[in-house]
Structure 1
């Protein structure tokens, strides 16, 4: 009986102090390893998520701008022809409210009667160029602004949306008008939606955002769309053809584009645009320090040791429509 009790006591005896300490040390090493793996996994998830976000935001920003730029100069049956008020062009009575008027003698939303080509395209670098849009007061310094005017295809049979501007066009005549159930009478004309866009970058709190001003009848150019978050910089290089083969021989920043070049009054003609976008993560990652220098065409931008990941995306757009016929 006594021997049986002793045997049972031995069977139910706990760990010794040494065994407990060894077990605790092993547990600590296992816990430390698991924590390191968890931290590494969390860091990898953050890194992968931010890189995916940068790629996607950059792709969307370029797609939006590229779609507009690729159709630059499209004016229906008047493509390549200048607008001359009183001769081949009529505009509605009154002016566009809250208009954004750019540099040059003829650079409002609609053509005017100044003896100068109507500008379908114009741009500047905020805080650097001498000229700017007075309608924009919150553009981030050192970022480009791009203005595009064109028609939206295909032609419409019923130009009756009263918040839109339209253009009736034949090869010889153009009439700009406000959407109405009764469009203007112009023999053999087709009707097109008229569009005026301005792309620029301004902050929303501490997040830079690609924005766009758009045209409407009642509000003019005061309509603002927030397009893509995290777009920190935007650079455009303008490609000019110098020898008449319709291929860009040189690309230059906006500071080098003269008034004569904007108005297509020289032999040089605008035939392509190179667009660079610097995308920044919307949230900082304190485990990452960014000291990279990013190049946007002719311009270098340093990250200055902050905790935001960035990526440059770019594209070259060949213009399909002549701004003005040679």
Structure 2
């Protein structure tokens, strides 16, 4: 009789070894995927902050540098200074309370694109509901999201050399009419937060806001960063004396 060749199957041990190797490979792929996802979230959060911060400073720089601009024969208003409008400029008084800044300049339209009354744009910048906004004529529109606080300090040029000798708050400026006519620059300080969670665990961080003290952020996983810039005022009026 002819012998019958029997094919040998896998043993239970071999099955177990194969399954174990498969699970190890699957765990490695899962860990790699989670790591890539986490890295992508972090990069998105950083990019989001940088883009928002750059745009906010760019927008504010363009606007603030317009403060006081007018044609030689155009009269913006009887009150001085007319470039930093103290009627709409306020000091939050604490690091966790935002300031506001209002400027005026000759223009047919305001920051909302609406017709400016009397040919003078009166634009106010402030924070509301986590958004940096521009307001004019009783209306407003957001500029960027994710703004925790915004602060403005004013560089006072006391000796008329076009270089500020000190920086003061809006409250200090309002209390000193002489220095209110000597503002040569505005220092903008913005604290921005990412829209999405980035950190692995909740962290309560403290930020130093120049001229305002310490700001303690929420205990969460968001990424935060301070953006600041000093903006000089090329259109400020000549020194008006005391």
Q: TM-score, normalized by length of structure 1?
A: 0.64
- Do the aligned residues in 2 keep the contact of 1:242 with 1:267 (CA within 8 Å)? no
CA drift of 1:200 comes to 0.9
- Summarize the alignment of residues 10-29 of structure 1 with structure 2, pairs less than 5 Å apart: 10=7, 13-29=8-24
Which structure has the greater CA radius of gyration? 1
Alpha-carbon deviations, 1:159-194, whole Å to 9, x = none?
xxxx6236xxxxxxxxx3xxxxxxxxxxxxxxxx42
**Are residues 1:238 and 2:154 paired?**
yes
- Summarize the alignment of residues 41-60 of structure 1 with structure 2, pairs less than 5 Å apart: 41-60=36-55
Match of 2:237 in 1: 323
Q: 1:70 aligns with which of 57, 65, 68?
A: 65
- Do the aligned residues in 2 keep the contact of 1:237 with 1:273 (CA within 8 Å)? yes
Q: How many residues align?
A: 231
Structure 2 unpaired stretches of 5+: none
Given the superposition, is the C-alpha separation of residues 315 and 77 from structure 1 closer, same or farther in structure 2, using an over 3 Å criterion? same
User: Distance between the aligned counterparts of 1:147 and 1:24, measured in 2?
Assistant: 69
**Are residues 1:147 and 2:102 paired?**
yes
CA drift of 1:250 comes to 1.0
**Are residues 1:125 and 2:91 paired?**
yes
Match of 1:210 in 2: 132
Match of 1:87 in 2: none
Alpha-carbon deviations, 1:19-50, whole Å to 9, x = none?
11111111111111111111111000000001
- Do the aligned residues in 2 keep the contact of 1:82 with 1:117 (CA within 8 Å)? no
User: Distance between the aligned counterparts of 1:267 and 1:17, measured in 2?
Assistant: 88
Alpha-carbon deviations, 1:210-256, whole Å to 9, x = none?
11112xxxxxx122111111111111111011222110111122332
User: Distance between the aligned counterparts of 2:174 and 2:24, measured in 1?
Assistant: 69
Match of 1:229 in 2: 145
Q: Output the aligned Cα RMSD.
A: 2.6
- Summarize the alignment of residues 160-239 of structure 1 with structure 2, pairs less than 5 Å apart: 164-165=115-116, 176=118, 193-203=119-129, 208-214=130-136, 221-239=137-155
Q: TM-score, normalized by length of structure 2?
A: 0.84
Match of 1:294 in 2: 207
Structure 1 unpaired stretches of 5+: 85-115, 130-140, 157-162, 167-175, 177-192, 215-220
- Do the aligned residues in 1 keep the contact of 2:158 with 2:182 (CA within 8 Å)? yes
DSSP-derived class of the 1:272 partner: strand
Given the superposition, is the C-alpha separation of residues 40 and 22 from structure 1 closer, same or farther in structure 2, using an over 3 Å criterion? same
User: Distance between the aligned counterparts of 1:250 and 1:231, measured in 2?
Assistant: 26
DSSP-derived class of the 1:149 partner: strand
Between Structure 1 and Structure 2, which shows a larger proportion of helix residues? 2
- Do the aligned residues in 2 keep the contact of 1:288 with 1:308 (CA within 8 Å)? no
Given the superposition, is the C-alpha separation of residues 288 and 46 from structure 1 closer, same or farther in structure 2, using an over 3 Å criterion? farther
